[in-house]
Structure 1
Amino acid sequence: RGIIIEDTADDGSGMKSSYAPFWQLRSTYWWRSTFPANKDVHVSHRYKPSVGGTSSVSFFYDGQFQGQYAAYKTRYCMDDTFENAVRKAAKANPDGYPKYYESRIAYILTTGGNWAAGTIGKFKLTVDKGNPKALVSFCGDNVKKVGPTTFEMTANDFYPEHDIDILLLEPSDSNGGDAN
C-alpha cells in the first residue's frame, strides 16, 4: 500500500493504466473577526475549490447505471434530466460509455455548527460549470439555471443542515456531452 494506486480504464483504444493519488488533502482556513454589536453584518466569501475526480463516469457502464450509482444519486441529487443526458451521451458513443470524466467538489456549509446561534439571513450559492457541454448535479432547494453555465440557489434565513456536494461531468473530448 502506497500513496498512489493504479487506475485502469478503456480510453477507446484499449485498456490503459494511469496512476491516481491514494491520499486526500484537507485544508482549513480560519481568521478572527470582530463584528459590531446590535448591527446587521453582510458576510461574503468566494473561492475556487480544488476538486477530486475520475478519468471516466464511475456510476454508468455496460449501458446502465450501476456500481456507485445509488450513493451518487443520494449525494448529488441526480435528477431525470441529468441521468437522461448521461444515457444520451452513452448512446452517442460507439463503445456505449458516456465520454465524460468526473470532477467532485465538497463545499462545507455546516462549519462545525457556527450557525447554531441563528441563520444565514440572505444565502446565495452560485455554481458555474464552466463548459456549456458539461453536466452538473447537486442537492439544493429552488435551484435555478440563470445562464448557459450558471446555476443559483437562494434562500432567506437559511440554516445549513448539511454540506453541499457538487458533481461535474466534463466532456472528455471536444464533441462530448449535452448542456444540462
Structure 2
Amino acid sequence: MKHLIRLLLCCLLLAPAICRANDGFGGLSATGLHFHKNASVRMLAEDLFLSPGQVRVRSVFRNEGAMDVQGEVIFPLPPISLAALTDSGFALSEQQLARENVVDFIASVNGQRIPVQSDRIAVREPHFEAQRPLSAGYDTPGEDVTAVLKELGIPLSLNVTEVAAMIARLPQPSKDRLRAGKLADFFDGEPPRPAWSIIVRYHWPQVFPAGREITIDHRYAPAPPGGIFSWPKQERDLDPYQRELIQTYCIDDTTRKGLVKRLHHASAGELAGTGTALFLDYVLTTANTWHGPIGTFRLTIDKGSPDNILSLCMDGIRKTGPTTFVVEKTNFTPTEDLRLLIVSRLAQ
C-alpha cells in the first residue's frame, strides 16, 4: 500500500505531459561515461545491461595513438530539481538523497575496483521544452549558480527542508538576491522554496596507454521515474498523451494488444485498464565523444517480470529469456538515446 501511495504522488521532475496524463513520481535518466572528444581513444566494445533495479556497463577502449592519453572520465547524473522535490515524490528515498553516493555508483578498471570521487554543482535549469533531447540535460544543463550559493553559505544539499530553513535565516539582502536571480520563491506563511537543481558528478583520472586496451566497468542503481498508467480497450479511445507514448516508445500493434490483455480484467467493462509504468531512459549518444563508432555493441534488457510489457524504439531486438531481450550491433554510431517503457499490472 505504501508503494501504491508513492506511485500516486505527482512529481514535477517528470515532463509536464506525463504529469497531466498520469499521476507519477520523478526520477533520473541514465547516461554513459563522458570523456573529452579525442582522436585516439576508440571504444572497441560496449556491453550494456538495463533493468529497473540495476544498470551495468562494460566498455573496452583502445588508445590507437602513439602517445598516452590522460584525462578525467566523468559520469554525471541529470539535474535534480529542489523545487520538484519540495512538491512531489521521487524514485529515490530521502535517505538515499541524503547520501553522497546517491545511486551506489562503483567502477573498476581491468577488473580492479578504483576510488571514484564525486562533486556537485548547482544550476538554474532552462525552461521546459517538450522536444528537448535527453542528452541536453547533460550537455547544456543550465546556468551554473554554484558560486552564488557558496557565497551565501548555502550547501549543495538535496535535503529541501534543511535548505529552506537556511534560506529563511538569511538576511533580507541575501533573500532579495536569491529572488532577483530566480533562485528562490517566497510566499507568505510558507517556507522559502529553492528553485535551483543539483547535479551530482562521479569522476576519476584515467590514463589510456598508447597501443593498449583497457576495460572499464561501472554499475549503479537507476532511479527511473514512473507512475499510474492506463490504456483503453479501443484504439478510438486513445487520448493525446497515449498517442504521444506510441510515438516516443514505438508501441506497435502487438504491444498495444498486450497492454489491453495485461491491464484489463473482466470487471473493468469498457473502462481503461490501469497499471503502473516505469520510464527508463539511457543517454546512449554520449558514446560519440570517443573516437569512431562502437566496434561491437550489446544491449541486454531485463524487464523485471515475465508479466511486464516492454516497449522501445530499436531494431534487431531478440527475446532471450522470460524477462530478457538482447540487441547486438557492429560499428555502431548511436544517433538516438534509449527510452524504455516498462508496464506492470496493478496487484489485485
Say whether the fold is shared (TM-score over 0.5): yes
Structure 1, unmatched stretches of 5+, are 1-10, 12-17, 175-180
The residue matched to 2:260 in structure 1 has which SS? helix
The residue matched to 2:251 in structure 1 has which SS? coil
Structure 2, unmatched stretches of 5+, are 14-25, 29-77, 79-199
Contact 1:103 1:168 in 2 (8 A): yes
**Shift in alpha-carbon separation, 1:31–1:165, aligned structure 2, 3 A:** farther
1:151-166 matches, cutoff 5 A: 151-166=325-340
State how far apart, in whole Å, the 1-side matches of 2:201 and 2:343 are: 27
The range that moved more, 124-133 or 68-77, is 68-77
1:3-82 matches, cutoff 5 A: 18-23=8-13, 26=78, 27-57=200-230, 60-61=231-232, 63=234, 64-82=237-255
1:114 maps onto 2:104 in alignment: no
Contact 1:82 1:135 in 2 (8 A): yes
Kindly tell me the number of residue pairs found equivalent between the two proteins. Answer: 156
**Shift in alpha-carbon separation, 1:29–1:108, aligned structure 2, 3 A:** farther
- Aligned-pair distance for 1:173? 1.2
Contact 1:89 1:97 in 2 (8 A): no
**Shift in alpha-carbon separation, 1:128–1:119, aligned structure 2, 3 A:** same
The residue matched to 2:277 in structure 1 has which SS? strand
Q: Which structure ranks higher in relative contact order (CA pairs < 8 Å, sequence separation ≥ 6)?
A: 2
Letter in 2 for 1:56: F
State how far apart, in whole Å, the 2-side matches of 1:112 and 1:124 are: 13
* Counterpart position of 1:123: 297
Contact 1:143 1:151 in 2 (8 A): yes
Letter in 1 for 2:248: R
- Aligned-pair distance for 1:98? 2.1
**Shift in alpha-carbon separation, 1:29–1:107, aligned structure 2, 3 A:** farther
Contact 1:99 1:173 in 2 (8 A): no
The residue matched to 1:94 in structure 2 has which SS? helix
- Aligned-pair distance for 1:70? 2.9
* Larger Rg belongs to: 2
* Counterpart position of 2:169: none
1:101 maps onto 2:276 in alignment: yes
**Shift in alpha-carbon separation, 1:129–1:62, aligned structure 2, 3 A:** closer
* Counterpart position of 1:5: none
- Aligned-pair distance for 1:99? 3.3
TM-score, normalised relative to structure 2? 0.40
State how far apart, in whole Å, the 2-side matches of 1:38 and 1:50 are: 37
The residue matched to 2:208 in structure 1 has which SS? coil
The residue matched to 1:102 in structure 2 has which SS? strand
